[in-house]
A = this chain, B = another copy of it.
Amino acid sequence: MIELKLKQISSIINQIIENSLYGTDILYKAAFHLPSHGGKRLRPFLVIKSCELVGGNIEVALPAATAIELLHNFTLVHDDIMDNDILRRGVPTVHTLWGIPMGILAGDLLFAKAFQLLLSSPHVNYERLIKAAKIMADATITISEGQSLDMIFEKRMDVTEEEYLTMVYKKTGALFKASAEIGGLIGGGDENAIKLLGEYGSNIGIGFQIFDDYLGLFSKEEILGKPIGNDIREGKKTLIVIKALSSPIRDYLLKILGKKDISNQEIYELIDEIKQQGIDEYVLNKAKSYINIAINSIIEFPESEAKKDLIELAKYAISRIK
């Protein structure tokens, strides 16, 4: 059900993205590459449903929803360069196809297009639109801080669960939070509604990212569109890794963590060990707890289709297969 609704929203958002990035030259081709190859469009869905939850309609939220998706894609394009990732969504990453300089520039263009689109939202009160744009700028700053932490953590072996959660809030939670708040703002919500939507967004974002790290190890390459165990090869301090580092399998993990040339066999062995330690269960429960907080944040809103969709979205964040 939620997947059908996500698809419907996707097809509208995809059309706006295509119009926004239409161009025949290299720069526009490079910028359009990632957003044209799928993506779940969870964040635009969140913008739209948050807008509807407070009584707004989808039309006013569409530019903002698309802007958030472009912003998200900008961070992915740059992250892939920073992390040396060569595959995403089953296709080569932008810098793999067009080189690092064009990858950087394509990301920059997506970032600028995000602001251009948001600021062109028609029928939105000017004061609210400025607040929405400010939220988007603030979120981008937070995301940059999160990505910086993520990279710094690669070199550290003593990252705590608390530090991981801060990083994950910044890297992922902040944009989900911004999506929900911007939807609420554009939909005409009052201060309290926007605050609750923000709590919903940041918690769903954290739960989503914890589960995303889980899928990165426990899903399959053909479903995920990128190799299993990339996080291990890059030395990422996911919650799984952090828990494993304080378990009996610490020494085994330390031997392979951050090594670019780990074999699939070694990854599968690691997965078995992680399961035997019950770390997969721990991590899933952690993700679930954030999703429950998210759902509770919006529980007091009167019943509506949008509310049902947001609750479904929260559950989907930790039940999806990719």
Contacts and interface: CB of A to CB of B under 8 A. Distances in A.
A109 B144 CA distance: 6
A116 B101 contact: no
A105 B78 contact: yes
Contacts of A81: 100-101, 104
Contacts of A11: none
Interface of A: 25-27, 78, 81-83, 100-102, 104-105, 107-109, 111-113, 115-116, 119-120, 126-127, 129-130, 133-134, 136-138, 140-141, 144-145, 147-148, 151-152
Given A26-B152, A78-B105, A126-B126, 20 more contacts: A25-B148, A26-B148, A27-B145, A81-B101, A82-B101, A100-B100, A105-B147, A105-B148, A108-B140, A109-B145, A111-B140, A112-B137, A113-B141, A115-B133, A116-B137, A119-B133, A119-B134, A119-B137, A120-B134, A129-B130
Nearest to A113: B141
User: Does more than half of chain A's interface fall in helix, strand or loop, or is it mixed?
Assistant: helix
B102 A148 contact: yes
Contacts of A136: 115
User: Which one of A27, A112, A138, A145 has the highest number of Cβ atoms from chain B below 10 Å of its Cβ?
Assistant: A112
B109 A141 contact: yes
User: Which one of A107, A137, A138 has the highest number of Cβ atoms from chain B below 10 Å of its Cβ?
Assistant: A137
Nearest to A27: B148
How many copies altogether?
2
Nearest to A125: B126
B130 A126 contact: yes
Given A127-B126, A133-B115, A133-B119, A144 B26 contact: no
A116 B138 contact: yes
A153 to B, nearest CB: 12
A141 B145 CA distance: 24
